[in-house]
Structure 1
Amino acid sequence: MTTTSENSPTNLKRTLYIGLTFTVGLALGVFVVLAIQKLGPQNEHTVEDVAQNGVNESTTSRLESDPTIGSGEIGQIQDILNQPSVFDQQKSLYSTLSSATTEDLKDLWIQSQKIVRESHREIVQHGILSKLATVSPAKALGYIDEVSIFQTDALLKSLFSEWSFLNLEEAIEAAIALSRPRRNIALMAILNTRDDLTESKHREIAIQLEHEETFLKMVSDTKALLSLEEPHSSWDTLLTDEVADYLQAESLLKVAEAWREQIGFKVLSNIYSADIDDDQLRQQLIRKIAEEDPLGALNHTRELTDESEKSSLSRTIVRVWARSDALAALLAVSTFEPTSIASALEVQITMVWASIRPNEVIENIDAVTDEHRLDTLESAFAQLASQDPKSALAKVSSVENLVANTSSIVHSIVREWSYTEPREATNWVLENYEREDPHRLTMLDSVLSYLAPVEPEAAFEIALEHSTGGRWGGLELDVFHRITYAGNLELAKKLIPRVHEDSKPFAYIHYGEALVKHAQTEEALELGKNLNEEQQSSYYRQVMSVWARESAKNLYEQLDDLPTDELKSLAAEELIRRNIRTPIFNDEQIKHAQTFVESDD
């Protein structure tokens, strides 16, 4: 075997030869590409003209429909894209662009928009804009609007990094003119690139670009992440700075994860007790920490003595666990103490489980305790019904032996069905339950509420046919309320005489409220005359309450002209009450309103 030292001269010669060949070849390649660019036809229009006239879009569309066109027109950059790797493509591209003029770059940009393959187009356009940023950054900024929105942020960062290095003041002036989101991207690029500037200068730039919070966040994040060896200190830095906590969610999570590495799941208690101004963020951090090992996280909560903390943390943890392994979570909480929290945790698990894997829940329902089995099945079958209600109904028989009564499960399916197909759900109830069956009335009460907005008259007829009357009215009152709520006042006026007598006073209130909401106050006042004296008192008080809520100033203006002293008194009382909750009137106006209030004497 020959040694390395014996071969070293030969290897050196070979290396030099290959390097020389590569350099010559690369130089020739650059020369050829630039020569082709110069010899090719020059576009007479500026890039702005091209974009304005839609030439680029039509050309791209033509290329996508006929691939043979693309290869001929963009031949001068095809060699670059034919390189065997992204690294080689970028090396070849940047070598080519290094000596390109502004005019060359403009031509290349136009050609780049004809590249059909998105990944290739992004490589070329990013390179062109990077180079253009060194010679004419303002022109490069104009080109950014012509790229995919998914490229915009990256290109803006690249552009303003280069621009701020070449001419900081000019870059700042250009950034000021951008939209607020783009201005923030430009600021981050400037601050990251110009880390040679003082902190006070960074802050000054951030204030100029109206994003001081971005500067504060970057400073705080940097300080926190530089001291991750002491996560407690980093945590305090983030929570006591001048930045809203939700803006630092990513940094807080990194610190929390580092903290967990040091102290384990005790970090959950630290997050729970932390002075975080956004509870959703707190829950997000707890979920992220618990995801990796939910059993370990839950075991931490078993030892907690503060019941509020134990309940809150464990509820969040089991909801995370239920998404990955609900059966394991159920088994774990079965031994949780106290039993009151264990029961609440089981509910949390089954709610999540039923919402994401309903079939799995039904197949394993015996893993759920008797106490929560029916509620869990109702949720699971409702979830199935949201996709295929008839299949869900057919599946109910599979659980008949596991619960005492399946009627509430069927009801949950029909109710879910009525959200999207109220007519089909209503027909199913009418066809499958006898008129005397109490379940028929219960289900109609659910489905007709959703049929009313789409088939109001049909819903009213069905409701009236099944009306039972009573003090609080029958089915038709609920349907009538839906009709008035939808603003169908003409139909409401037509149907109100047909409402069951027991329901009529409430129907008048619903109709009167709707009239007021639609600025038909005179009609609302006139409507009340059809009621007896006792009914009028409730009706007019409710009408005045709605009037004061919807348009207090209008009611005040009408106060002197109301037809009776009783109405004036009711109106004044509602205006005064409304003004206490939401001040609208001055002292003089309130005193004027008080003159209309009748005393109880």
Structure 2
Amino acid sequence: MKKSLLTSVLFLSCGVLLGCGGMYLVHISTTGNSTTAGIEEGRENDTNRSTQERDSRLTGEWNERIFTNNDSVASIDDPNLHTDSFQRRLAIYSHVAGLTVQEMTTELEAISTGSQKYSYHVRDELQSALVTRLAIDKPETAVKFAVEQATAEPDRSPQGYSPQYPISEGEPLNMPGVQSVFSDWAVNDLSSAIRGANSLSTDAKSNALTGILNSQVGSSLETHRQIARELGDEQRGVDSYVQSFASRQVDDPRAAWNEVIAYLEPNDYRHSRALMNVASQWYEQDGFNVLDEINQSNLDSNFKSNFVRQLLWQAAETDPEQAFQFALKMPSEGRFPHTLNKVVNTWSESDPQAAFQAVNEVEQTSVRDQLQRNVVRNWSRNEPRYVLDHIDIFPAHLQVSVKRDAITSIARKSPKEAAELALQIEGMDGEIVGPQIMRWWVEQDAEAAIDWVYNGPVSNESQYNWVSALTRYLVASDPRRAFDLAMKQEIPEEVSLMGFRTYQPPGLEADVISRIASQDLDLAEELLPRVRDGITKNSAYSAVGDRYIDEGHSNKAVELGLKLSDEDQVTYFQDIAHTWARVDPVGLVESIKELPTEAVRSSVASVLSNRWYRDNFTEEQIDTLKQYLSDSDRQALEDQ
């Protein structure tokens, strides 16, 4: 008999992992009652029952392991249960199934007082299993425990039945445990559960009603109403019945749709999820005619547009061309047709050529151009070599972006091929893809990436940009080497800024130092003395100083600045003042008197007193800052 019981329990533990509720498992193991299975499967779980939601379906191998090796079930004291979820659930439900009501009650009391020392995973799941079992064998005890737990740890989040109500002091306490117990109790004995709920205080009774109604998915409207009426809130029964359509499969979606909308009030969005589920099934049954019927209904316009939009997204998966034609005729959605865009995006994933041909016929130029870009972006990502081989099928103004997107896609698996393709794109367009290529290449084979940049086909003119891309991503894995490579790279006299203007950049080590500072400030400060003078040094020191400020070490930021020349100090303290004003404006005002020179103090005060930073300070603090202004800086500020 004992062996038979253990086998039964092990089988039921599998059910836990199959996603069934803990009550269902323990109920089967102790009573063999299968009459509630249909309700349990359809139940909409609107409460926080995360401990009863289980892993995916067991494989045959796991089943075989359970049934052929019962001795493998661990004790609930086993420390390995904390990390082994499979064995933990097996052990817990084996343990609980063999307890008497008195033993379960004693165990719950021990858990709640902390006298039983389990890991939090074991404790929480054991408590859930005990309450679930008691909800069948001794529901009054389970309710008492659940109410006491909820009262000890109040939860003011909204109950599942009333998302329309704001959270306020008058809102009933949310008691997921109470809801769970009554849901289980009602499945086993509805009349007793209702009597038990009527004996509770207001908050607990409200939660009990939620749990009982949750157990009635698939029941009639009159059943929902009658239950709620007996517990003093008939409207809750109507709401629960309507909400049950959010997860139900219905035989006649049109009839279900008409039934649900009959209960809608103006601007009442509580039941939109239920309506959407019904509308989705209706579309699957009757097709695009459903969208016309929804558009012609008396529903609020926002309701209608939302449902039609979501149905079109659904339709784009199976009939994208018709969904596209329908979306084209929809009323304006503002500056950009988001519904049409999403339909086209979905279509371009399955048949980019057909989608591209369709969007080419869109009359409005701005819309057509944006849709074309969306299609070619997806097409380039999914079929990069095809689009590169057939680049002439795309309009001239899209060809560069097609190449760029395709090369970036190729870089994920073939970075060297992508890099050599990028060299064929002239100017900034080719340089833009460099960082994306190096991101993947350095991750896969940093040595090969370095060798290609220095010994491959990269021209002298392009090397600065390629080394910049290389060092940017090498920092994470080898910061010292990234710094050394950056130091070796000559600083060009000028580079183009996105093709709009040229400027002289800092040495690449400034960017490397900035990135190192975000992961290892000590190393960044160690390397600082090696950076090249001029804007490179200013940029690197400011990056480290900013990081010190961000981490709350303003004193270290000041000490770092003191290592610079008087001229460089002015630039440095001006730069870090922006971050300092954001992170610790009070500390900055208090510390300005400690800055090294009058010129530094005045320049910082000038920067912070202008209109861009005034919101960071009180008027009194601004007056304090202005005390440090030189006459010339004060006059310049007044002239603004």
Under a length normalisation based on structure 1, what TM-score does the superposition of the two structures give? 0.59
User: 1:528: how far off?
Assistant: 3.1
CA distance in 2 between counterparts of 1:342 and 1:422 reads: 41
Q: Residue 215 of structure 2 is aligned with which of 174, 189, 193?
A: 189
Structure 1: runs of 5 or more not aligned: 1-32, 41-46, 48-59, 74-100, 107-128, 143-152
Amino acid at match of 1:240: N
Look up the SS of the partner of 1:197 in the other structure: helix
Q: How large is the Cα RMSD of the aligned pairs? A: 5.8
Q: Distance in 1 between matches of 2:373 and 2:506?
A: 35
Which residue identity is paired with 2:547? A
Q: Aligned with 1:600: secondary structure?
A: helix
Instruction: Please give the residue correspondences for 1:489-528 in structure 2 after superposition, counting only pairs within 5 Å.
Output: 489-528=522-561
Which of the residues 454, 458, 480 maps onto 2:477? 454
Aligned position for 1:381: 407
Candidates 369, 383, 399, aligned match of 1:343? 369
Distance 2:235 2:614 in 1: 43
Label 1:321 to 1:62 Cα distance change in 2 as closer, same or farther (>3 A): closer
Structure 1 residue 302: Cα displacement: 4.4
Deviation at 1:322, TM superposition (A): 0.9
Whole-Å Cα distance in 2 between the matches of residues 131 and 597 of structure 1?
75
Relative to structure 1, the CA distance from residue 298 to residue 318 in structure 2 (aligned partners, 3 Å threshold; closer, same or farther) is same
Q: Is the 8 A contact 1:294 1:317 kept in 2?
A: yes
Secondary structure of 2:440's aligned partner:
helix
| Deviates further, 284-293 or 326-335 | 284-293
The 5-angstrom pairing of residues 211-360 of structure 1 reads: 218=243, 234=261, 237=264, 240-241=267-268, 243=270, 250=277, 253=280, 261-262=288-289, 264=291, 275=302, 284-303=310-329, 306=332, 308=334, 311-358=337-384
Q: Deviations over 1:252-300 (max 9, x none)?
A: 7568889974464696999xx9547999x99655412433322123223
Deviation digits for residues 211-253 of structure 1 (CA, Å, limit 9, x no counterpart)? x99859729979x999868779939948821539679754675
Given that 2:217 and 2:241 are in contact with CA atoms closer than 8 Å, whether structure 1 keeps it comes out as: no
Deviation at 1:348, TM superposition (A): 0.7
Q: Which letter does structure 2 place at the counterpart of 1:468? A: I
In 2: Cα distance, 1:174 partner to 1:163 partner? 21
Which residue, out of 473, 482, 488, partners 2:515? 482
CA contact (8 A) 1:379 1:412 kept: no
C-alpha contact (below 8 Å) 2:487/2:508 kept by paired residues? yes
| More divergent stretch after superposition (313-322 vs 356-365) | 356-365
Worse overlay, 195-204 or 296-305:
195-204
Question: Higher mean Cα deviation, 249-258 or 158-167?
Answer: 249-258
1:461 Cα deviation (Å)? Answer: 1.4
TM-score normalised by L of structure 2? 0.56
Residues 193-225 of structure 1: per-residue CA shift (max 9 Å, x gap): 651437677785999xxxx99859729979x99
For 1:216 and 1:564, the matched residues in 2 are separated by 75
Question: The residue matched to 2:546 in structure 1 has which SS?
Answer: helix
Using the alignment, how far apart are the partners of 2:583 and 2:549 within structure 1? 8
Q: In structure 2, what is the Cα distance between the partners aligned to 1:254 and 1:63?
A: 35
In structure 2, the CA distance between the partners of 1:575 and 1:195, relative to structure 1 (3 Å rule), is farther
Note the 1:87-106 alignment, pairs <5 A.
none
Letter in 2 for 1:380: A
The aligned amino acid for 1:317 is: V
Residues 1:579 and 1:424: Cα distance change in structure 2 (over 3 Å): same
Which structure has more relative contact order (CA 8 Å, sep 6+)? It is 2
- Are residues 553 and 425 of structure 1, via their aligned partners in 2, closer, same or farther at CA, if it must alter by over 3 Å? farther
Q: Is the 8 A contact 1:245 1:277 kept in 2?
A: no
The amino acid that maps onto 1:234 is I
Structure-1 separation of matches of 2:242 and 2:567? 64
Contact 2:209 2:231 (C-alpha < 8 Å) held by counterparts: no
**What SS is found at the alignment partner of 1:544?**
helix
Q: What is the alpha-carbon distance in structure 2 between the residues aligned to residue 369 and residue 548 of structure 1? A: 49
- Please tell me the residue identity of whatever aligns with 2:480: E
Match of 1:430 among 432, 442, 453: 453
Q: What is the distance in 1 between the residues matched to 2:296 and 2:608?
A: 49
Deviations 1:476-508 (A, max 9, x none): 222222122334334334334432534222222
Task: Give, as a single letter, the amino acid of the residue that structure 1 aligns with 2:464.
Answer: L
Aligned partners of 1:489 and 1:511 also within 8 Å: no
Aligned pairs for 1:405-444 within 5 A: 411=434, 414-418=437-441, 420-421=443-444, 423-424=446-447, 426-433=449-456, 436-444=459-467
Give the deviation of 1:383 after TM superposition. 2.4
1:268·1:286 contact (CA, 8 Å) conserved in 2? Answer: no
Q: Aligned to 2:491, which of 468, 474, 480? A: 468
Distance verdict in 2 for CA 1:489–1:160, change over 3 Å: farther
* Percent of matched pairs sharing the same residue: 19
Note closer, same or farther for the CA distance 1:295–1:65 as it changes in structure 2 (3 Å cut).
closer
Q: Which moved more, 1:261-270 or 1:340-349?
A: 261-270
* Residue 455 of structure 1, CA deviation: 1.3
Of residues 534, 543, 552, the one that matches 2:576 is 543
Greater Rg by CA: 1
Which SS does the other structure have where 2:351 is aligned?
A: helix
Cα distance, 1:522 vs structure 2? 2.7
- Alpha-carbon distance in structure 2 between the residues aligned to 1:479 and 1:230: 61
Distance 1:577 1:163 in 2: 70
- Identify if the C-alpha distance between structure 1 residues 393 and 188 changes in structure 2 by more than 3 Å, giving closer, same or farther: same
Aligned equivalents of 2:274, 2:65: Cα separation in 1: 45
Residue 88 (structure 1) aligns with:
none
Q: Please tell me whether the aligned partners of residues 194 and 227 of structure 2 are also in contact (alpha carbons under 8 angstroms).
A: no
Alignment of 1:188-207 (within 5 A): 188-189=214-215, 195-197=224-226
Distance between the aligned counterparts of 2:62 and 2:346, measured in 1? Answer: 50
> Cα–Cα, structure 1 residues 217 and 438, in superposed 2: closer, same or farther, change >3 Å?
farther
CA separation in 1, counterparts of 2:281 and 2:185? Answer: 29
1:344/1:522 CA distance change after superposition, 3 Å: same
